[in-house]
Structure 1
């Protein structure tokens, strides 16, 4: 490929990091929005995260099998088409105001995103000079962080209306007036998701028309000669204690990250009295802190043991969650916002610790660790249940506190590790 064509190909694949990051970070906007539009309780609204993260749990292995037959480019195009279909389905889902329809659309969106994540990381490393592979993938992942910052800002402006009815206000409305209000709220997702779907289809068309070099994967002789069933190889890997611990730690981390962000707007409303639009701006600031934390954390790891940083960050987040649960007013919201910064290094650090020493089994082991992100489907539901049972979204934040405690134990058990190669996009 010529240099210009290579740069264009890198730009297209980099756009995928932004696309799935943007979709995932719209969930904290969709949760309070659909809670209002579909008249849900906290437990029901948490299923938005479940629909998203379950797709990530189910699809990576089928995606890998598809790409083994049709190539990474074919997998990327299929992923983008699925993503666009799910985005377009938001229009009829809003028209009928059916929550199950919304969840189905989200599952399809993130089924496509699972294909994109499975393909984009290895693809970006082979586009161009091999010596620049690490630089390219870190550059691309920075757009995932950019998406995390922009999604709540854009979603807060174009999806959230800023109008939340109290029970007293709802009771004073006639059924027709209430229905008109709810339909208007639901319809606000239609145009944004039509735009998202259209942009994704344009990217799919550009990728279809662009020539990409084939990926030649390095495969060890042991891996090539291992013809045992997939289930047997997975069972053997799961006998490795460090891998099992890493999968569970990643399960806890993604559950904590999803839970902290998913109920942030509702938490800000209840604990500090913020309206939903101002709360979405605070969410944007917190997300920017996550992006800054990723860069600062990577820099700090040049001078400090990464596991010591993980221990320190976990302790700080346990303390911040304790403040968020016990304090009231703006200071409690600020404490919760700070957790984003200290979550920033957790996913990649845990990931690197988990696959350390796997050798020829690294690829399959990595897939199992990635599947640990199903925690994002579980812990927000637990938080929703706690909130409904206690009538306090604040007490629900005890759940991510326990998750951070589990991560602390994982880090302490890995204390002797001196250096890690940090990568990852969550």
Structure 2
């Protein structure tokens, strides 16, 4: 995420780090909160748009497909852009693009256009992709390499605070407006239809206008702030023996932990997003919990809230135990939770799926840190590869949506189950570099 220069063999002195890094960490942590809140709102948009446009599960999952496809399309360009602009300018640009995406929700809701909603989500996610490519490696630089995983987990904990509040606020502001059926709308007078359309559109327009304003304000604050100048070559690039990591003439694809870690990010984000996407509709099914959409949306906050709590716990655990082993253990526990949910169904299944969030907590930042460790000058490009792999959030929900339409929602959770088995492999074996 920064300008090019000659390789460096060490970071700034500890005194400089302590003086400069804390304010920068606080400011960058606000970004993690914002994109967490925005991303989790998709889980509220899905049941809302599914009802408004009478969509199948597969069609409704196009919300996640268009959002996370942006990571695949934009991550490499974002990596090169950040390498030229630097972390700070990359962050400001990402915030501005995300704000524009939020603004497009206004005409999309007013015109009741599903394609325009999907386009708005793509623009919004393009901005968040630039933030991801900028902020994740930047956090690994703001301190010693040995504590990079713990530090990134700390900032990801605030990302989880955003994902926790997002569904709750979305349930209050969006799902509180009951969607009328086609039959109900046919019986309405023109005046009633107009009033209903205005109310329904406003349920989406006002929250996203507020988000746009907040993103632009944060962009202005960061543009006016002094952040420590860091190179791509600084980010977690030093080896344990003090030697400099690979030069810029090397290729990111030659690094086994990065390549397998990209697969890990793909399946992790896909599984996490897929479970969150289905939970509101899943909890509303009579054979599971029979909750209303608004109530189910509030319960969804427990899923993301578990990730928040787990990340704060993970800061301490990862400072004492091997990150790969902690990652594998959590993946095996999630596998067990999904199996119990599919076997027993009912309210037990609901609680098992909500509990998955707690053990999801440390997965993304841990995989990310293990994958970019030792990349040196290649860190910004490696971050681009990993953020590109976030496209798993586009494909895994589509696959589960297809399965849900044909074998039922409950058994469709076998798709994320397979994803967690791979994550366990990566934690135990895949993150080890070749000798």
TM over 0.5: yes
Q: Which aligned pairs between 1:2-151 and structure 2 lie closer than 5 A?
A: 10-124=25-139, 134=148, 137-151=152-166
Is residue 2:413 matched to residue 1:413? no
Is residue 2:296 matched to residue 1:279? yes
SS state at 1:210 partner: coil
Contact 1:38 1:182 in 2 (8 A): no
Is residue 2:354 matched to residue 1:313? no
1:8 CA drift (Å): 5.7
Task: Note the alpha carbon deviations across 1:146-190, whole angstroms, 9 max, x for none.
Answer: 1111111111111112635578x6597459667865663343110
Q: Identify which range, 38-47 or 403-412, moves more after superposition.
A: 403-412
Q: Distance in 2 between matches of 1:387 and 1:182?
A: 30
Task: Note the alpha carbon deviations across 1:233-285, whole angstroms, 9 max, x for none.
Answer: 35x52xx5544333222211111101010111000001210111111121111
1:360 CA drift (Å): 6.1
Q: Identify which range, 346-355 or 16-25, moves more after superposition.
A: 346-355
Q: 1:323 to 1:180 in 2, by over 3 A?
A: farther
Is residue 2:247 matched to residue 1:223? yes
In structure 2, the partner of 1:296 is 313
In structure 1, the partner of 2:266 is 251
Q: 1:172 to 1:329 in 2, by over 3 A?
A: farther
Q: Distance in 2 between matches of 1:139 and 1:246?
A: 20
1:74 CA drift (Å): 2.2
Q: Distance in 1 between matches of 2:326 and 2:144?
A: 30
In structure 2, the partner of 1:328 is 345
Aligned length: 404
In structure 2, the partner of 1:424 is none
Is residue 2:406 matched to residue 1:389? yes
Task: Note the alpha carbon deviations across 1:55-109, whole angstroms, 9 max, x for none.
Answer: 1222222123223333332222221111111101101000001011011111111
SS state at 1:223 partner: coil
Contact 1:88 1:197 in 2 (8 A): yes
Q: Distance in 2 between matches of 1:210 and 1:350?
A: 30
SS state at 1:215 partner: coil
Q: Which aligned pairs between 1:139-178 and structure 2 lie closer than 5 A?
A: 139-161=154-176, 163=178, 170=184, 173=187
Q: Distance in 2 between matches of 1:131 and 1:249?
A: 21
In structure 2, the partner of 1:423 is none
Task: Note the alpha carbon deviations across 1:178-221, whole angstroms, 9 max, x for none.
Answer: 78656633431100100110111111122222333432454658
Q: Distance in 2 between matches of 1:345 and 1:335?
A: 18
Q: 1:144 to 1:252 in 2, by over 3 A?
A: same
Q: Identify which range, 210-219 or 48-57, moves more after superposition.
A: 210-219
Contact 1:18 1:147 in 2 (8 A): yes
Q: Distance in 1 between matches of 2:259 and 2:310?
A: 27
Contact 1:162 1:275 in 2 (8 A): no
Q: 1:37 to 1:214 in 2, by over 3 A?
A: same
Q: Distance in 2 between matches of 1:61 and 1:388?
A: 34
User: Alignment RMSD, CA only?
Assistant: 3.3
Is residue 2:395 matched to residue 1:378? yes
Q: 1:272 to 1:296 in 2, by over 3 A?
A: same
Q: Distance in 1 between matches of 2:429 and 2:230?
A: 37
Contact 2:91 2:131 in 1 (8 A): yes
Unaligned runs of 5+ in 1: 418-426
Unaligned runs of 5+ in 2: 1-15, 235-243
SS state at 1:272 partner: coil
1:372 CA drift (Å): 1.8
